[in-house]
Chain A
């Protein structure tokens, strides 16, 4: 993150000097975070409302918006580097919401070698980046995986990306780059239920923020049209009868079991909501810090936290969105409640300091690193005390 270079206090900034007052950003912002002064036409960003979806950034024709994450330079820089690294001229751009990893790209697009690019919402990718990738970087084909329109965590991100891809494809075809250079697919990851395991407790019915769950015929059933894939019901199912597509409980357990733990010094696990922290491209941490991105804090499961602690992780940090920012209504709130409850139980064996819940937001680019630094300090001091004993 080039904080010192950009001198940005917040993740997004509107530059009045280069703004042409076209107000595209004002109309495109899904969160009404951009205001227009009725007299001067001047556009103002209310950062507290901003969710850093970057739809404004990718739509601004005057390039009057600065953003810290996935700006044009870092995206094209990444592609130039990655083209050699992956020795491929195919690019897969996926929204984190539509897939936690690139495992089923082959199923979806029929390719096995590609440059991977994972971003929080594909609506943030400017048309210029796609055009530059094809015209100068030497990418031959782009495959874009977005969330379904009504599943988009940024309301209009998927829709805007789709419209943009249509326009870019038309342009590329006219320029003789071929037909449908950018393939576009959409999907949503939703709940799965094993009705044989359901004990009809009704937790999913009560906790589902979208009223997707019902108890019918003695077991839970879900209206998948309504499910938004937050995973809260999965975390709260006492019978382990529910799971979330591509975020299966077993998959997360495997990720935890396979963490390459450092032998000396404390090892930390961060389970973070993927909408609370936007990682830099090629983000790196010290070898004693392990990161698992989750679909929502609501899917951060006390069982997984316990698995990590039992397997020798010295501290678990939960990073959720601020309650009012939660992209799936109650995820952050419930994660906080569940963490507090687990902490209480852990206090019985003196482990309460090993678990910490914090809320952060991408609009404050330094907030996550700061929380992590403080947590690491605390765990290190506990660890040193224990080693002394």
Chain B
């Protein structure tokens, strides 16, 4: 899932300040935490309250869209909603904001979120954790289903480094050392020999930016 964090209210209020009528658009797609109707309505109330402190009165309209990154699914329900509005505040990830910018070329759109990473939901800890770097050359077969590119602070291919201490990372002792996890898991599976060969440097040019897949 695409993990996002809400921008500071002041920042949002700053870029909304030239406008009076704002369409707040939630996204029911994959954003985590979910940024649907509940979030959109809560944000509208927070901005209304924050606006009052700046002596600014907004007229908000709140909707949610099924999947903002899909231009086809987004344009149709969005078009009738924006007629009497001046701008859109999108609760989707960066993709949603850009899709709206694309389908409504003459209309200003702003992000309410900072898009962080592709993360897994660790429900028990109420956290979202980066697990995939979308590197385009999946290593998981070799590393026992644990990705060192996304989960090692140094994205090492041949770990662990000397900073792995008691299973934790020297960069952030709160976080697990990915290589410690990989080795323990391979050991458990009896597949430690998978690491006998040193992995050569990778060609990160496999995915040329911006990535594109057809068909």
Contact = CB atoms under 8 A, between A and B. Distances in A.
A288 B8 CA distance: 32
A349 B34 contact: no
Contacts of B53: 349-350
Nearest to A354: B49
A22 interface: no
Nearest to B41: A303
A350 B50 CA distance: 9
A237 B39 CA distance: 10
Interface in B34-82: 34-39, 41-42, 45-46, 48-50, 53, 64
Contact of A240 (B6, B33, B38, B49): B38
A207 to B, nearest CB: 9
B123 interface: yes
B55 to A, nearest CB: 13
B34 A203 contact: yes
Contacts of B49: 306, 309-310, 349, 351
Given A309-B45, A349-B46, A303 B126 contact: no
B28 interface: yes
A199 B46 CA distance: 24
Given A309-B49, A349-B53, A239 B34 contact: yes
B45 A199 contact: no
A237 B38 contact: yes
B187 interface: no
Contacts of B35: 238
A238 B46 contact: no
Given A309-B45, A309-B49, A350-B53, A239 B8 contact: no
B9 interface: yes
A307 B45 contact: yes
Contact of A239 (B6, B37, B42, B46): B37
Given A345-B6, A349-B53, A199 B36 contact: yes
Contact of B126 (A237, A239, A337): A337
A238 B27 CA distance: 10
B137 interface: no
Contacts of A349: 9-10, 46, 49-50, 53
Contacts of A239: 28, 34, 36-38, 64
A201 interface: yes
A18 interface: no
A307 to B, nearest CB: 6
Contacts of A258: none
**Which bucket holds chain B's interface residue count?**
20 to 34
Residue with the highest number of chain B CB atoms closer than 10 Å, among A307, A309, A348, A350 = A348
Contact of B39 (A238, A307, A346, A351): A238
Given A206-B123, A337-B126, A345-B6, A306 B37 contact: no
A238 B45 contact: no
Contacts of B50: 348-349
B29 to A, nearest CB: 8
A209 interface: no
Contacts of B37: 197, 238-240
Interface string B94-112: 0000000000000000000
Interface string B110-134: 0000000000000100100000000
B36 A310 contact: no
A352 to B, nearest CB: 12
Interface string A182-211: 000000000000000101010100100000
Interface of A: 197, 199, 201, 203, 206, 237-240, 302-303, 306-307, 309-310, 337, 345-346, 348-351
Closest 9 CB pairs of A and B: A238-B34, A306-B45, A349-B50, A199-B28, A238-B36, A348-B9, A239-B36, A310-B45, A238-B38
5 contacts: A238-B38, A348-B10, A348-B50, A349-B49, A351-B49
